[in-house]
Amino acid sequence: MRRATMKPIVILSASLAAQVVVAEEPASTGEHAMHGARPAYSEQPASPNLQHAPDAPDQQMDHEVLLTNVTIDQLERRENDSGALEGSAWIGGDRDKLWFKTEVEREEGETEKAELQALYSRAISPYWNLQAGVRHDFELESDSRNWGIIGLNGLAPYFFESDASLFVGEDGDSALRFETEYELLLTQRWILSPKVELNFYGQNDRETGTGSGLSDAGAGLRLRYEFTPQFAPYIGVNHEKKFGNAADFARDEGESPSETTWVVGLHAWF
Amino acid sequence: MKKQNPFGENLSRRTFVTGVAAGAALLGSAGAVAKPRQSTLNSDAVDTLRGNRFDLDIGYTPVNFTGRNRTAVTVNDGLPGPILRWKEGETVTLNVTNNLAHDSSIHWHGMILPSNMDGVPGLSFAGIKPGETYRYQFDVNQSGTYWYHSHSDFQEQQGLYGAIVIDPAEPDPVAYDRDYVVLLSDWSDESPHDIYSHLKTEGHYYNRQRRTAGDLWDEIREKGVAQTWRDRKMWNEMRMSDRDISDVTGYTYTFLMNGQTPDANWTALFQKGEKVRLRFINAAAMSIFDIRIPGLKMTVVASDGQNIEPVSVDEFRIGVAETYDVVVEPDGDSAYPLFAQTIDRSGFARGTLTPDPALRAGVPTMDYAPVLTHRDMGMGHGSMSGMDHGQHGSASGMDHSRHESGDYSPHGGRPELGGMQGTWFTDNLGRAGHGSDSPIVHMPSEYGYGVDMRSQMPMDGLNDPGIGLRDHRQRYGRRVLTYADIRNLTLTIDRREPTRELQLHLTGNMERYMWSMDGIKFSDAEPLVLKYGERIRITLVNDTMMTHPIHLHGMWSELETGDAEYIPRKHTVIVQPGSKISYLVNVDAYGRWAYHCHLLYHMPGMFREVRVV
């Protein structure tokens, strides 16, 4: 569970700072000289400059650290031998991060959907990150495909953890996804978390079962118990529904356009 | 340096004390009673080292405060390190050897000394490399209670701290029969890097007093849905929590008094009728304490080592890195609890003041946990009556939109926005001792992703006992110390008016766990350049909802408490949430100095170099 706070950047910033200081030193000495009439305070020796510039990582309390995080948002078992994984990982500093997101869904023992996003994330306001990158859908029931992404990720007013992404496919396909999640603390450890996801597409695609316009939506309600903030099993209910053409595609396949299942899973990060 | 047998020490001390004349400073070391702790520290009591030459060894020491074995970073195998007892007017030499696998350092907190002796790696010197010894040597030109700690990495959290007591050259104006150092700190079994990394991921990680559905339900029953919605509106829109009091709490911390857990109950002895001087030092990494001794009035006689006009109080708040000396006169045969509850009431350190080692005091109950108000966001809402705790007042009409920084009040001078040099005022400055008259100006750099709040109308932090203490007089009949009560014992030495005023804003983003000054974190900031010989005012404006203890190295912070004749000198000044406070600084020490928030995990960002040229 230990998370590495890596420090190469500290070394770098420290040595840079040291160089700047050394470079500026003559100028400040010059200023000394110009202050001919010094007040009558006891003379103290001027501080030595950083000619012995420190190079060890923890010489200074300036931690411009590179942080890492791996979050398993949902790792859950659903009814009918189904399951899902939704997670993310990032590495970076306060402003810039490299960010990965993944979603995997299994139905009736088979992996139905698996996607991986790789994004550059940049803080643009106190609560929002602008994210851009690529998404790969793995070849499963349909061909694999790649998308370009631009999105916003952050905390909306009233504490809604939100994510909005626009996807553009190689052959001009487009898709839009909104996700938002809220945490209601029943106690300090029991947390009820409703979550909504909406997927829109710019085109019909029978192969992937997606339809133009609002294609599918998911709504979940999960109750988790935080043994620690980093380890919280949960139970809940998940509802998924397809709309319009997507619903028709599902019916044609002999599947139901909507499904509600009980879930049991784990929320964790490290 | 001698090892102390706790029982023998106490018994002999008791008989010894009886025959000693009043006024003698006798006992530097803590008279501890044996306790069932499995610690492998070198002693149950804190050692006292006297003289003017010291050999200090920084190293690893196994400890066990919670039932789990951990490794602390210590000085001479003590947690806290030995009490260093100096004499004003002497020159002290300290050979500090680093036996760690990493760089280390010791900073002599509150000491006025040459900057190359100040112990801040990267500013004063290059730090002490593993296996190396650094010789600190400086003249001791002050007296009182101070402390020392590492200024490297997060070693301070791991146990590298200790007390400094300097006996005055002249007769002490404070009369006492015996004195004790009461050093408070916070210990975690987690590594400080893990703590920092948890906070960076979830700013509220350690907060176990967050708002729950139950709180909401209570509020709705009390005020109705509509009013509750309005009251919650601003917090919800700003995405801030009114329960955000401490970043790191009792959830991970065990709070220590002289290195003893609350269960171990550090014990100090007195004889009936004696005046006992308690030298409180807050050596915690992140914990602000509220101190009281139920059953005893405390006469505060010194603040940050400097003698003040005695003030009698029932309770006082001690910010991280501050020191307060109090004198108590226990007249009974009973034991008194020394009680130090944290600002968020998530835990406490405690000890016992007793005439008999067999007699122990009970544990007082903690007070209610404070909840932030609009006033703590610098919205000028709420009165100064001291009753303004809890969630009353409405959010309507509160404007948290951006303040236009061109909007200056007519009586302040126009400021110069000096880039990273901050906002400087040179005209129409307030009189020395009376604080700032200048308008509040938010620099353009405050409008970035690292700043989640700006105080529109910061309150004056001087008369404010602080969050969680404001109604203690009404509620419990306790007199609580405020900065406005502090007057220096002797006349202000330098009576010059300040020639310019720096307005510096304390800024941050709780969600991202970023801290900065004027929205600029240390690694991006240029030094603040001051001219040797000038006398300036610094006005700190707190644009966050946290209480920040701000420490200026090398020069006194002369706190403007409203009396120009008796300006108290401090080294660390608490800036209340959404408030402002001013002090004067005599720029009388050349060199590069650190200027920062003393909350350890705020330091990486809320830190500036002050360069005196």
Stretch A96-121: mean pLDDT, rounded?
95
Question: Which tens digits make up the pLDDT trace of A124-170?
Answer: 999 999 999 999 999 887 789 999 999 999 999 999 999 999 999 98
B217 within a domain of the structure (yes/no): no
Same structural domain, B429 and B286: no
Q: What residues in A contact B116, CB-CB < 8 Å?
A: 45, 47-48
* SS3 sequence of B382-444: CCCCCCCCCCCCCCCCCCCCCCCCCCCCCCCCCCEECHHHCEEECCCCCCCCCCCCCCCCCCH
pLDDT at B395 over 70: no
Q: How many CB atoms lie within 10 A of CB B368?
A: 11
B360 within a domain of the structure (yes/no): no
A140 within a domain of the structure (yes/no): yes
Q: How many domains does the structure of chain A reveal?
A: 1
pLDDT at A217 over 90: yes
Stretch A224-243: mean pLDDT, rounded?
97
Q: Which of B290, B320, B354 is the last residue of a domain?
A: B354
Q: How many domains does the structure of chain B reveal?
A: 2
A247 within a domain of the structure (yes/no): yes
pLDDT at B476 over 80: yes
Are the beta carbons of A45 and B114 separated by less than 8 Å? yes
* Enclosing H/E stretch for A105: strand A96-107
Same structural domain, B415 and B532: yes
pLDDT at B585 over 60: yes
A5 within a domain of the structure (yes/no): no
Q: How near does any CA of chain B get to the CA of A138, in Å?
A: 30
Same structural domain, B285 and B384: no
Question: Which tens digits make up the pLDDT trace of B529-571?
Answer: 999 999 999 999 999 999 999 999 999 999 999 999 999 999 9
Residue B142 near chain A (CB below 8 Å): no
Question: Domain range for residue B520?
Answer: 375-612
B239 within a domain of the structure (yes/no): no
Same structural domain, B510 and B594: yes
B152 within a domain of the structure (yes/no): yes
B364 within a domain of the structure (yes/no): no
The amino acid at residue B355 is: P
Same structural domain, B425 and B527: yes
Question: Which tens digits make up the pLDDT trace of B94-137?
Answer: 999 999 999 999 999 999 999 999 999 999 999 999 999 999 99
Same structural domain, B328 and B407: no
Rounded Cα gap, residues B240 and B307, in angstroms: 40
Question: Which tens digits make up the pLDDT trace of B126-155?
Answer: 999 999 999 999 999 999 999 999 999 999
Q: What pLDDT band is residue A57 in, cutting at 50, 70 and 90?
A: very low
DSSP state for residue B48 in the 8-state scheme: E
Q: What percent of chain B has pLDDT over 70?
A: 86
Q: How many angstroms from the chain centroid is the CA of residue B1?
A: 29
A227 within a domain of the structure (yes/no): yes
Query: What CATH number did the domain enclosing B88 receive?
Result: 2.60.40.420
Are the beta carbons of A59 and B205 separated by less than 8 Å? no
A36 within a domain of the structure (yes/no): no
Q: What pLDDT band is residue A64 in, cutting at 50, 70 and 90?
A: low
Alpha-carbon dihedral sign for residues B444, B446, B450, B456: negative
B396 within a domain of the structure (yes/no): yes
The whole-model pTM stands at 0.86
DSSP state for residue B116 in the 8-state scheme: G
B457 to B308, B436, B613: CA distances (angstroms): 31, 14, 34
A221 within a domain of the structure (yes/no): yes
Rounded Cα gap, residues B201 and B199, in angstroms: 5
What is the reported pLDDT for B378? 81
Are the beta carbons of A35 and B211 separated by less than 8 Å? no
Q: What percent of chain B has pLDDT over 90?
A: 81
Residue where the block lists tokens 């080692």: B357
Determine the residue among A63, A88, A96 to mutate to test chain B binding: the one whose Cβ has the most chain B Cβ atoms within 10 Å: A63
B557 within a domain of the structure (yes/no): yes
A71 within a domain of the structure (yes/no): yes
Same structural domain, B328 and B401: no
Are the beta carbons of A64 and B208 separated by less than 8 Å? no
Q: What pLDDT band is residue A258 in, cutting at 50, 70 and 90?
A: very high
Rounded Cα gap, residues B360 and B58, in angstroms: 34
Stretch B218-240: mean pLDDT, rounded?
92
Contact B268, B351 (CB under 8 A): yes
Are the beta carbons of B512 and A123 separated by less than 8 Å? yes
By C-alpha distance, the chain B residue nearest A62 is: B604
- CA-nearest of B214, B241, B219, B206 to A159 is B241
Contact B585, B552 (CB under 8 A): yes
B536 within a domain of the structure (yes/no): yes
Same structural domain, B258 and B391: no
Residues 239-258 of B with CB under 8 A from A: 239
Q: What pLDDT band is residue B420 in, cutting at 50, 70 and 90?
A: low
Rounded Cα gap, residues B101 and A198, in angstroms: 53
**Which residue among A14, A38, A124 places its CB closest to the CB of B449?**
A124
Query: What CATH number did the domain enclosing A112 receive?
Result: 2.40.160.40
Residue A228 near chain B (CB below 8 Å): no
Q: How near does any CA of chain B get to the CA of A225, in Å?
A: 14
What is the reported pLDDT for A109? 87
Same structural domain, B35 and B165: yes
Question: Domain range for residue A112?
Answer: 67-269
